[in-house]
């Protein structure tokens, strides 16, 4: 007997596919379409209410990568964003891992309290975090030089958020402080998943605590570490809110804290007296999408397949 076509699968898949297509896939494709057009910003000789749009092929992309007006901002934002990501991976992930390792120690008291306290900032509104740090680091209203002097740190009395060389690092550290709880939670959960028998066996074999961690626990949670890196990568390249809250869309001083997100915002919506350029904004958005896509692909094909998974 011929098998009946499984219509019920289509019926069940339809709502999710429909909503996903309308709200995710269609806007994504249309953004790419719009990025191939140009638009008269002053509204002269408008044919219709949406404004004249002329097809120009890949010229927006050419301008973005090679024309000085745009390319300086683009490469600057990309460079800053990579730096922002590297700082996160090299500081946030190890600290998260360290805290998780401490928390998974059975003898530790007040474990839940620490866990909650460390995770708390991640639940706070970014606007509040940005505002508080702006005040703490302000030379006018923040920690005064005299207090720093008591502990011999007068030299640290600097406008860290206002200096070109330190602003991006400062913003990154604020972001790391806020979100260090997320890798901590993931690693903690992964560490708890490791069966007791394995650890007991290691103990019986005479493995020291540090040795057990590096030789047994770490390899077992490596897939989680990889996953965390990808999540950080995607999150960092979509970052916008913290810079917006602390440094505004100008991402000062002199665009030294500019990320792809703030660059996109300025391009698409315009700012103060600069009219927004929707088609160029679409180009920036598509490029950002491409960058994230490439990064995730590299992870999926080059790393994830090679990470050994252990069954237990």
Give the interface with other proteins as residue ranges (CB under 8 A): 41-44, 46, 49, 68-70, 134, 137-141, 145, 157-164, 247-248, 250, 252-255, 271-275, 277
Q: Which of 95, 92, 96, 175 is nearest to 133 (CA)?
A: 175
CB of residue 120 to other proteins, shortest distance in Å: 26
The residue among 25 and 132 lying less far from other proteins, judged by its C-beta, is 132
The residue among 21 and 67 lying less far from other proteins, judged by its C-beta, is 67
Q: What is the DSSP string of 28-55?
A: HHHHHHHTTEEE-TT-TT-SSTT--EEE
CB of residue 231 to other proteins, shortest distance in Å: 31
Cα separation, 166 vs 173, in Å, equals: 11
CB of residue 300 to other proteins, shortest distance in Å: 37
CB of residue 274 to other proteins, shortest distance in Å: 5
Main-chain phi, psi angles of 275, to 5 degrees: -70, 145
The residue among 156 and 293 lying less far from other proteins, judged by its C-beta, is 156
The residue among 45 and 113 lying less far from other proteins, judged by its C-beta, is 45
CB of residue 199 to other proteins, shortest distance in Å: 49
Cα separation, 260 vs 238, in Å, equals: 7
Cα separation, 259 vs 264, in Å, equals: 8
The residue among 19 and 54 lying less far from other proteins, judged by its C-beta, is 54
Q: Give the largest CA-CA distance in the chain.
A: 88
The residue among 134 and 207 lying less far from other proteins, judged by its C-beta, is 134
Helix segments in 35-110, DSSP class H: 59-66, 68-87, 93-103
The residue among 92 and 257 lying less far from other proteins, judged by its C-beta, is 257
CB of residue 71 to other proteins, shortest distance in Å: 12
Q: At which residue do the structure tokens 């030789």 appear? A: 215
CB of residue 126 to other proteins, shortest distance in Å: 18
Q: At which residue do the structure tokens 């290691």 appear? A: 202
Q: Is 106 helix (H, G, I), strand (E, B) or coil?
A: coil
């Amino acid at each position: 007997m011929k098998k009946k076509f499984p219509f019920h699968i289509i019926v069940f898949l339809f709502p999710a596919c429909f909503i996903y297509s309308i709200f995710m896939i269609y806007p994504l494709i249309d953004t790419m379409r719009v990025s191939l057009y140009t638009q008269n910003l002053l509204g002269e000789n408008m044919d219709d209410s949406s404004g004249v749009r002329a097809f120009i092929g890949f010229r927006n992309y050419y301008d973005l990568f090679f024309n000085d007006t745009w390319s300086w901002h683009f490469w600057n934002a990309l460079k800053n964003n990579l730096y922002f990501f590297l700082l996160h991976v090299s500081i946030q992930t190890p600290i998260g891992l360290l805290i998780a390792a401490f928390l998974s120690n059975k003898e530790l008291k007040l474990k839940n309290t620490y866990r909650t306290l460390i995770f708390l900032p991640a639940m706070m509104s970014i606007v509040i975090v940005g505002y508080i740090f702006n005040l703490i680091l302000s030379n006018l209203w923040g920690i005064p030089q005299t207090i720093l002097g008591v502990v011999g740190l007068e030299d640290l009395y600097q406008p860290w958020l206002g200096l070109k060389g330190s602003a991006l690092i400062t913003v990154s550290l604020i972001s790391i402080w806020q979100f260090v709880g997320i890798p901590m939670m993931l690693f903690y959960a992964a560490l708890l998943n490791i069966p007791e028998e394995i650890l007991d066996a290691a103990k019986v074999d005479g493995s020291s605590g540090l040795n057990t961690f590096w030789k047994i626990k770490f390899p077992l949670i490596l897939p989680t570490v990889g996953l965390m890196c990808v999540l950080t990568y995607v999150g960092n390249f979509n970052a916008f809110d913290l810079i917006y809250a602390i440094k505004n869309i100008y991402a000062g001083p002199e665009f030294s804290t500019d990320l792809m997100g703030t660059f996109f915002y300025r391009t698409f919506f315009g700012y103060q007296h600069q009219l927004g350029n929707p088609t160029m904004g679409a180009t920036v958005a598509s490029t950002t999408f491409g960058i994230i896509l490439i990064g995730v692909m590299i992870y999926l094909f080059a790393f994830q397949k090679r990470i050994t998974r252990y069954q237990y």
